Structure 1
Amino acid sequence: MEKILIVGATGSTGKRIIEILNNSQSFEPVAMIRKEEQKSIFEDMEVQWVHGDLEQDDLDPVMKGIDKVIFAAGSGGDTGPEKTTEVDEEGAIKIIDAAKNGKVKKFIMLSSMGADEPSKHPKLEHYLNAKATADKHLRDSGLNYTILRPGALTDDLGTGKVELAQKLDGQGEIPRDDVAFLLIMSLADPLVKNMTFEAIEGKEPIKSAMIELSQGN
């Protein structure tokens, strides 16, 4: 069973990922927590946790025994530039470097649609610039990777159906539930390997959409 480090485990999307992986026969989630009081959340779920702070710590120790990483942390588009830089750019780069040092098998990054063209989104430009810098660092790291750039995240129930492409026309929304499933599906080694792709709610089941995207159809 592969151990999967979830960075951003206490966030809305991170918690969904943990819940799904906790019922998996193939993957064992390991929650990265920043505060001591957060450990009870995961102890109650019988989920392993490890302490790590994207803004402060040397993160090499958190990679001990880890096979793959899902980065689902984020300051959010409403956060000021300083905090965004600390978490979404510098923090992400720090954990990518730690993953490389730890020789993890795959790193899956939750990014954002628009990160390829930050200047087209003035209100979110600082956030998207940070995401773009982190994405590039991951692509250049030599790690096997997947970068998922979803549209606007909603708390609606997941539909299990999506529209995926390396570049989608326009904007759209997608439930966090479906984003969590896309990130987890990306753990499978043949799927979306060394790919960056965008995702919004659509009409095609997640599994077949990811297979088609991986095959370049």
Structure 2
Amino acid sequence: MQSSLRRGAGGGTGWDKTILVDLWGAERAVHACEEKEIDRFVMISSRGAGDPESRQGPIKPYIVAKHVADRTLQRSSLDETILRPTRLTDAEGTGRVAAYVDTDPDAGDPIPRADVAQAVVECLGRNATIGHAITLYGGDTPIGEALRPSG
């Protein structure tokens, strides 16, 4: 039970949890922020959510739920950033990632949950990430540097 409190549904749970947590819960959070006039939102999505048709197998319902939740956020009045990490691990954070803005490479290293959490905090302080979907893998670039706009 404890692990279900700190994680979303993922690809290994049933449709019911995927819909309730990763779709319905995310949409409710977006709408609640709009109602409370909170203007900034960083969504933790999933690699592949930009193109759910390209995914197959038990992970597909999860990816579709993430895609629809992302679209809800993008269509909202909120200043949004979407983080799309690859496979998450419980390893200790490294403070380093590989970040791909508005692209979704097919392969890369798994990423510690702690590094995704640090990326959320970094995005909240960086208006340059607003309006972007950023795919995250484990990597060698310090998180703050990886999230800086290029050019």
* TM-score exceeds 0.5: yes
2:143 matches 1:199? no
**Which residue is 1:150 aligned to?**
85
Aligned pair partner of 1:161 in 93, 96, 99: 96
**Which residue is 2:106 aligned to?**
170
Report the AA paired with residue 169 of structure 1. Answer: P
**How does the TM-score come out when normalised to structure 2?**
0.88
Distance 1:143 1:87 in 2: 20
Q: Per-residue deviation at 1:189?
A: 4.3
Distance 1:179 1:191 in 2: 18
**Percent of matched pairs sharing the same residue:** 35
Q: Per-residue deviation at 1:184?
A: 0.9
Distance 1:168 1:200 in 2: 10
Aligned pair partner of 1:140 in 72, 75, 78: 75
2:32 matches 1:98? yes
Report the AA paired with residue 77 of structure 1. Answer: G
Report the AA paired with residue 11 of structure 2. Answer: G
Report the AA paired with residue 182 of structure 1. Answer: A
- Alpha-carbon displacement from aligned partner over 1:49-74 (angstroms, at most 9, x marks no partner): xxxxxxxxxxxxxxxxxxxxxxxx62
2:117 matches 1:180? yes
Q: Which has the larger radius of gyration?
A: 1
- Where 2:53 maps in the other structure, the secondary structure is helix
* Counterpart mapping for 1:5-84 below 5 A: 10-11=5-6, 74-84=8-18
Q: Per-residue deviation at 1:167?
A: 1.3
Distance 1:127 1:139 in 2: 18
- Larger relative contact order (Cα-Cα within 8 Å, sequence gap ≥ 6): 2
Distance 2:134 2:144 in 1: 15
Contact 1:185 1:191 in 2 (8 A): no
2:151 matches 1:209? no
Distance 1:77 1:117 in 2: 16
When residues 168 and 119 of structure 1 are mapped into structure 2, their CA distance, relative to the original with a 3 A threshold, is closer
Contact 2:48 2:104 in 1 (8 A): no
- Alpha-carbon displacement from aligned partner over 1:124-157 (angstroms, at most 9, x marks no partner): 1100000000000000001011110001001112
Q: Could you say what the CA RMSD is over the residues aligned between the two structures, in angstroms?
A: 1.5
Distance 1:192 1:138 in 2: 14
2:68 matches 1:124? no
Q: Per-residue deviation at 1:98?
A: 1.0
- Where 2:127 maps in the other structure, the secondary structure is coil
Aligned pairs, number: 144
**Which residue is 1:59 aligned to?**
none
Contact 2:39 2:77 in 1 (8 A): no
Q: Per-residue deviation at 1:168?
A: 3.5
